[in-house]
Amino acid sequence: MLDQSLLDRLAIRDLLENWVVWRDAGDWERFATVWHAEGWMSATWFQGQAADFIRVSREGFAKGVRILHFLGGTSIDLEGSRAIAQTKMTISQRAQVHDIVCDVVCTGRFYDFLEKRQGVWEIVRRQPIYEKDRLDPVDPSAVLKLDAERLAALPEGYRHLGYMQELIGYKVKRDMPGLTGAEVEKLYAQGREWLAGKAAE
């Protein structure tokens, strides 16, 4: 017989996989079910309530914006009805960069604050950690010239992703957590506090 800890871990992993599949497929009604009512989403281009994230994601999807995700391994820390999950992921996006169609790929982790209420796990807060990225023309024979000053002004972990997103009109947040540094250490501390019973920030 499976113990409760394993059942919780399986439920959380299922939830995290549903997030990616339903969002990227544009399955908005089911995507809304992965969040608690006060759910909060942070990304390079958006920070706010989950309901607003769903709305703007839906609007972008309808306009042809494609920000896609792929998941790797997950590490889950459980403490009663609360959990912190870290999931390896990649974010990929295709758009024109200086009139050349490019793909950008960013590698990192989803850092999720989760809570089980009425027997159901849902996300309270999702904060990506951006570790490294790269930008490539879809046509390998194309010659791409980036603005070096503009590129250098963006954080290392999502420099190329942010470059593309700013070109297509998004406002990119400049202090998101990376592989190391004060921002990610602050996030880890908030995760420990969440597991100890403190409200999510």
Single pTM value for the model:
0.95
- Cα dihedral sign for 31, 37, 41, 46? positive
Domain range summary for the chain, segments of one domain joined by +: 4-185
Given this model, what pLDDT does residue 84 score? Answer: 98
**Helix H or strand E encompassing 43:** none
Domain 4-185: CATH architecture, name and number where available: Roll (3.10)
Other beta carbons within 10 Å of 198: 11
* Ordered per-residue pLDDT tens for the chain, 201 residues: 669 999 999 999 999 999 999 999 999 999 999 999 999 999 999 999 999 999 999 999 999 888 999 999 999 999 999 999 999 999 999 999 999 999 999 999 999 999 999 999 999 999 999 999 999 999 999 999 999 999 999 999 999 999 999 999 999 999 999 999 999 999 999 999 999 998 877
- Cβ within 8 Å of residue 46, ≥6 positions away: 52, 53, 56
Nearest to 83 by CA among 123, 53, 42, 114: 114
